[in-house]
Structure 1
Amino acid sequence: MARIIDTAVITRWTAASMAALEQRCAEIDRINVFPVADRDTGTNMLLTLRAASDELHRGLRADESAPSCAAAAAALAQGALVGARGNSGVILSQVLRGLSEAITEAAGPVGGTALHAGLERARRLATAAVAQPREGTILSVLAEAARAAASTGSGSVEEVAVAAAEAAAVALRATTAQLPDLAKADVVDAGGLGLLVLLDALVEVLTGRPSSTRPVRPVAAGAGGPVRCREALLIERESGSTEFDYEVMYLLDGSDDGRMAALRGELERVGDSVAVVGDGTPGGAGLWNVHVHCTDIGAALEAGIAAGRPHRITVLRFADQMEAASPARRFVRERAVLMAVAAPQAAELAREAGADVLEFTAGLPPDEDEITVALAGTRARHVALLPGDAGLTATAERAAAEARRTGQEVVVVRSSSALQGLSALAVHDPARHAGDDVAAMAEAAAATRTGGLLVAESEALTWVGRCQPGEVLGLSDGEVVLIAPDLAVGALWLAHRMLAPGGELVTALLGADADDELGERLAEDLRRTHPEVDVLVYRGGQTDYPLMLGVE
Structure 2
Amino acid sequence: MDGTALLRWGRVCLEDLGQRREEINALNVFPIADADTGTNMLATMRAAMQAADAAVVSAHSYRAPGSAVSAHDVAAAMARGATLGARGNSGIILSQVLRGIAEAVHGGPLTGRTLREALARASALVREGLSVPVEGTILTVLDCAAGCAAACSDPALAEVAVAAADGAAEALGATPAQLGVLRAAGVVDAGARGLVVLLDSLVSVTLGEAPTRPQYVRAETSGAVVPDATDPGPHFEVMYVLTDTDDQQVARLRAALAGLGDSVVVVGDGSGAWSTHVHCADAGAAVEAGLAAGTLSAVRIESFAITAQVGHTHADTTANADGAMQAAWRGVATDRGEPADRGVLAVASGAGAAALFEAAGAVVLDGDGPITGAALLSAIRRLPNREVLVLPNGALPAHDLLAVGVAARDAHRDVLLLPSGSMVQGLAALAVHDHGRIAVDDAFAMSEAAAATRWGSLRAAAGRALTMVGTCEPGDGLGLVGHDVVVIDRDVRTAGLTLLDRMLGFGGELVTLLMGRSTPVGLADALVAHITDGFPGIEVNVYSGGQQGDLVQIGVE
Corresponding residue to 1:467 among 463, 466, 472: 472
User: CA contact under 8 A between 2:229 and 2:306: conserved in structure 1?
Assistant: no
1:234 aligns with 2:228: no
Q: After superposition, where does 1:378-457 map in structure 2 within 5 Å?
A: 449=454, 451=456
Matches of 2:307 and 2:543 in 1, distance apart? 39
* Cα displacement (A) at 1:90: 1.0
Taking structure 1 as the reference length, the TM-score comes to 0.65
* Cα displacement (A) at 1:175: 0.4
* Cα displacement (A) at 1:123: 0.5
Matches of 1:168 and 1:181 in 2, distance apart? 20
Corresponding residue of 1:263: 253
**What SS class does the counterpart of residue 193 from structure 2 fall into?**
helix
Corresponding residue of 1:400: none
Change (3 A) 1:534 1:181: farther
User: CA contact under 8 A between 1:474 and 1:484: conserved in structure 2?
Assistant: no
Matches of 2:285 and 2:399 in 1, distance apart? 22
Change (3 A) 1:58 1:181: same
Corresponding residue to 2:486 among 476, 480, 487: 480
Corresponding residue to 1:304 among 277, 290, 314: 290
Q: After superposition, where does 1:74-85 map in structure 2 within 5 Å?
A: 74-85=76-87
Corresponding residue to 1:71 among 55, 70, 73: 73
User: CA contact under 8 A between 1:33 and 1:233: conserved in structure 2?
Assistant: no
Q: CA RMSD in A?
A: 5.0
User: CA contact under 8 A between 1:113 and 1:154: conserved in structure 2?
Assistant: no
Cα deviations across residues 352-377 of structure 1 (Å, max 9, x unaligned)? 69xxxxx9769xxxxxxxxxxxxxxx
User: CA contact under 8 A between 1:504 and 1:532: conserved in structure 2?
Assistant: yes
Change (3 A) 1:79 1:101: same
Q: Which runs of 5+ in 2 are unaligned?
A: 327-370, 381-387, 391-396, 401-418, 420-424, 433-444, 532-537
Corresponding residue of 2:181: 181
User: CA contact under 8 A between 1:34 and 1:238: conserved in structure 2?
Assistant: no
1:6 aligns with 2:8: no
Change (3 A) 1:103 1:17: same
* Cα displacement (A) at 1:325: 4.3
User: CA contact under 8 A between 1:217 and 1:229: conserved in structure 2?
Assistant: no
Change (3 A) 1:450 1:110: same
Change (3 A) 1:88 1:460: closer
Change (3 A) 1:517 1:462: closer
**What SS class does the counterpart of residue 305 from structure 2 fall into?**
helix
* Cα displacement (A) at 1:83: 0.7
* Cα displacement (A) at 1:231: 13
Change (3 A) 1:262 1:467: same
* Cα displacement (A) at 1:116: 0.9
* Cα displacement (A) at 1:474: 2.5
Change (3 A) 1:68 1:535: farther
Corresponding residue of 2:438: none
Corresponding residue to 1:54 among 50, 53, 65: 50
Matches of 2:52 and 2:43 in 1, distance apart? 14
Matches of 2:131 and 2:282 in 1, distance apart? 18
Change (3 A) 1:291 1:160: same
Cα deviations across residues 272-310 of structure 1 (Å, max 9, x unaligned)? 2111112234xxxx2111111112222212221221112
Q: After superposition, where does 1:528-543 map in structure 2 within 5 Å?
A: 529=528, 532=539
1:498 aligns with 2:503: yes
Corresponding residue to 2:93 among 78, 91, 94: 91
Matches of 2:229 and 2:124 in 1, distance apart? 24
User: CA contact under 8 A between 1:450 and 1:550: conserved in structure 2?
Assistant: yes
**What SS class does the counterpart of residue 63 from structure 1 fall into?**
helix
User: CA contact under 8 A between 2:463 and 2:472: conserved in structure 1?
Assistant: no
* Cα displacement (A) at 1:547: 10
Matches of 1:309 and 1:252 in 2, distance apart? 6
Corresponding residue to 1:31 among 6, 27, 41: 27
The AA in structure 1 aligned to 2:5 is V
Matches of 1:232 and 1:535 in 2, distance apart? 72
The AA in structure 2 aligned to 1:188 is V
Matches of 1:237 and 1:118 in 2, distance apart? 40
Change (3 A) 1:315 1:334: closer
* Cα displacement (A) at 1:55: 0.4
Q: Which runs of 5+ in 1 are unaligned?
A: 219-227, 337-342, 354-358, 363-387, 389-418, 427-439, 510-515, 539-544
User: CA contact under 8 A between 1:507 and 1:537: conserved in structure 2?
Assistant: no
Matches of 1:312 and 1:547 in 2, distance apart? 33
User: CA contact under 8 A between 1:77 and 1:100: conserved in structure 2?
Assistant: yes
Identity value in percent: 42
Matches of 1:491 and 1:322 in 2, distance apart? 59
User: CA contact under 8 A between 2:239 and 2:300: conserved in structure 1?
Assistant: yes
User: CA contact under 8 A between 1:276 and 1:291: conserved in structure 2?
Assistant: yes
Change (3 A) 1:263 1:150: same
The AA in structure 2 aligned to 1:258 is Q
Matches of 2:240 and 2:512 in 1, distance apart? 30
Taking structure 2 as the reference length, the TM-score comes to 0.65
After TM superposition, the structure 1 stretch with the greater mean CA deviation from structure 2, 178-187 or 267-276, is 267-276
Matches of 2:202 and 2:138 in 1, distance apart? 17
Q: After superposition, where does 1:96-495 map in structure 2 within 5 Å?
A: 96-104=98-106, 106=107, 108-212=108-212, 214-216=214-216, 228=219, 234-236=225-227, 242-281=232-271, 286-319=272-305, 325-326=311-312, 449=454, 451=456, 458-460=464-466, 466-468=471-473, 471=476, 473-476=478-481, 480-483=486-489, 494=499
Corresponding residue of 2:352: none
Matched positions, count: 435
**Greater radius of gyration (CA):** 2
Matches of 1:452 and 1:257 in 2, distance apart? 40
Change (3 A) 1:303 1:444: closer
